[in-house]
Amino acid sequence: MKKYVIPAMILLLSVFLFGLLVRSYFGVLEFPGVVPDRCSFPDNLSCNDFLIKTEPPSISILIKNNNEFDIDILNVVASGPGITGICIYPLDALPLQLKKSEEKLLTISPCAFSSPNKKYKYVINISYVPSGNLNNVDIKSIVGEIFAKKY
């Protein structure tokens, strides 16, 4: 009987850990305190810093143009489970020119946020064209993510 106790305990522990991993993978379990705040964008536009504020309600992103050419940003929209409604970069400030290797702070405001003090994933969609191509022939679009808590 004793020779079956240790393998049975190992099997039960393995099943328990596997169950936790599966639930975590599918989002049933959340570990927001363990996961650090992060901002990730494709290589051609990098996110060097960010801030999500409740007063005034806004999302600020410091982006850098890593393309081999200057770009004109046509549209910036934020969405995700942490936002209720529409969160768009001010249209009167567009198009926004971003030279090659230049950094600029984009502040998307006003935003309507859902419940406070919780980490959320915010999806940022940026549409742009190479500078001087404002006839919208070659519109490119990238999607970045911010995972953070509002401050």
The per-residue pLDDT for range 69-96, each reduced to its tens digit, is 999 998 999 998 888 887 888 888 888 8
Q: Are residues 102 and 52 in the same domain?
A: yes
- Same structural domain, 24 and 74: no
Same domain flag for 18 and 92: no
Are residues 71 and 10 part of one domain? no
50, 105 Cβ separation under 8 angstroms: no
Together in a domain, 121 and 99: yes
Total domains present in the chain: 2
CA distance 63 to 92: 19
Domain containing 62 equals 38-148
More confident residue, 7 or 108: 108
| H or E element at residue 12 | helix 5-25
Same domain? For 10 and 78 the reply is no
Q: Answer yes or no: do 56 and 130 share one domain.
A: yes
Domain check: are 42 and 116 in the same one? Answer: yes
Among 91, 95, 73, smallest CA distance to 140 is for 73
Q: Domain with 142 in it: what CATH number? A: 2.60.40.1470
The pTM of this model reads 0.74
Residues 24 and 52 in one domain: no
105 and 42 housed in the same domain? yes
Q: Judge if 81 and 14 occupy the same domain.
A: no
Residue 59 near residue 125, CB atoms below 8 Å: no
pLDDT tens digits along 16-74: 888 777 776 665 665 555 667 889 999 999 999 999 888 888 899 999 999 999 999 98
